[in-house]
Amino acid sequence: MMKLPDIPKAPHWLQKFQYFTDPIGYLESNRELYGDIFYTPISDDFKRLLLVSHPEALKQLFTGEGKGFEGKPFVQLQFLLGDRSVVCLEGDAHRRERKLLMPCFQEKRIGAYGQIICDLTEQVFSQLTPGTTFSACSVVGEITLDINLNIVFGLNEGKSFQKLKQLITDLFNSFTSPLISSVILFPSLRKDLGAWSPWGYIRRLIDQIDELLYTEIRNLREQDNPGRTDILGLLLSAKDEEGQGMSDRQLRDELLTLIFAGYDSTRNAVCWALYWIHLHPEVREKLLHELDTLDGCPEAMTIFKLPYLTAACNESLRICPVAFINVTREVKEPVELMGYQLEPGTGVYASIYLTHHREDLYPDSRKFKPERFLERQYTPYEFIPFGGGSRRCIGDNLALLEMKLILATVLENYQLALVNNQQVKVQGRNQWVKFDRRASSTSPSGGLKMVLKSKRQT
């Protein structure tokens, strides 16, 4: 008789409610009851949907395209990112688009953005005065948006920059509204009843953003400046194997994807790292010692490769991953996974959070311990903050570079402290602008209140 994974006994509606209101509690309770693989009804896109967290299962999942599994596009976000975005494509179209994008994120390319990241971080933090209490999430959010607009579009000042920044901020903030979130969740409610209706408001913001993006694309095509290093400039000169470049529509979709994918996730990653580093003074002191050993003005990639800084960032991404689950794989033909028989049409999620909190991999997993990553080399199926396989986040190295350089700039120049030195509650929230509207992201509750004590004397 065919062996099937366990099905949680709670009604589907109750499980969905539990997941969206307390994703961590939902994941941990089901792992305790059912182990490494179980069915979950958190999505209606598949008749059956599984969550898996065992490294061997993840290895099969990430390397199994064409061998029973196929990565699924995020069609739910086409209304925002467009149908030519790499995250909304599948098959040959996805592979072509990914090849066009990949050169923009090679190490030799992203290293050139180092000074921009450091300068913009200093620019924002320098506006704070000693004794000021601030929301780290707000301050870091401004930094990451400024960085993304500069790196992606080459914009750092002027009317276009300010207007695009405000529109993106307004659109992003609108997703926190329960009314607007419900319109996104239920396509049948997407009716434009005027500028003050939820869907009408969203559409008008997107239309204004599009107008600015297409203007930038047209202007840059006319300039024909091959020396530009921003991502838009690089993509304009990108060609596929047949010598075809990207259309204006493709460029618009990919640029908007990069902005929304990199802005909030990087912000949350940096905020969690600031929290853990300042909750554990000994970690901060080790980081400062490592940074102080650098001579003069080190290159961005020198900082990027610092062992203890890398370990601290990895441990923060492990304990509080920016997304709880990875992209869906669909079973295309009968396949066996961990001894279970899966039928075509079944969807499978990799549970990033549960994998990162396996006690057999990470003993005392709730403890922040950067040394884990100095003592052991984890496989791409044991540590998966950016997912894996052909759907792994394409901008992972750029996100890590931003994370490390923002932290290094802040630690080297400022003395910060947590307003509340107690362990904060992990706040799980629906992440509507992430690649998957059902994925959840973690952020410190209350926006992470910190105080700027003083400028650091070096």
Residues 222-257 have pLDDT tens digits of 887 667 788 888 888 888 888 888 899 999 999 989
- Dihedral through CA 295, CA 296, CA 299, CA 305, nearest 10? 30
Closest C-alpha among 213, 200, 324 to residue 260: 213
Does some domain include residue 199? no
Query: 21 versus 387: which is more confidently predicted?
Result: 387
Does some domain include residue 190? no
Residue 422 has pLDDT above 70, yes or no: no
Does some domain include residue 233? yes
Could you tell me the pLDDT band of residue 428, with boundaries at 50, 70 and 90?
Answer: low
Write down the residue that tokens 């923002």 correspond to: 406
Does some domain include residue 309? yes
Does some domain include residue 180? no
Average pLDDT for residues 317-339, to the nearest whole number?
Answer: 87
Does some domain include residue 182? no
Domains identified in the chain, total number? 1
Mean pLDDT of the chain: 86
Say how far apart CA 331 and CA 39 lie, in whole Å: 14
Average pLDDT for residues 81-98, to the nearest whole number?
Answer: 86
Does some domain include residue 221? no
Does some domain include residue 167? no
CB 51 within 8 A of CB 325: yes
Task: Give residue-wise pLDDT tens across range 371-380.
Answer: 999 999 999 9
Domain housing 39: 12-154+228-455
CATH number, domain of 428, equals: 1.10.630.10
Closest C-alpha among 70, 25, 58, 54 to residue 386: 58
3 state SS for 39-84: ECCCCCCCCCEEEECCHHHHHHHHCCECCCEEECCCHHHHHHHCCC
Residue 437 has pLDDT above 50, yes or no: no
Closest C-alpha among 39, 69, 45 to residue 332: 69
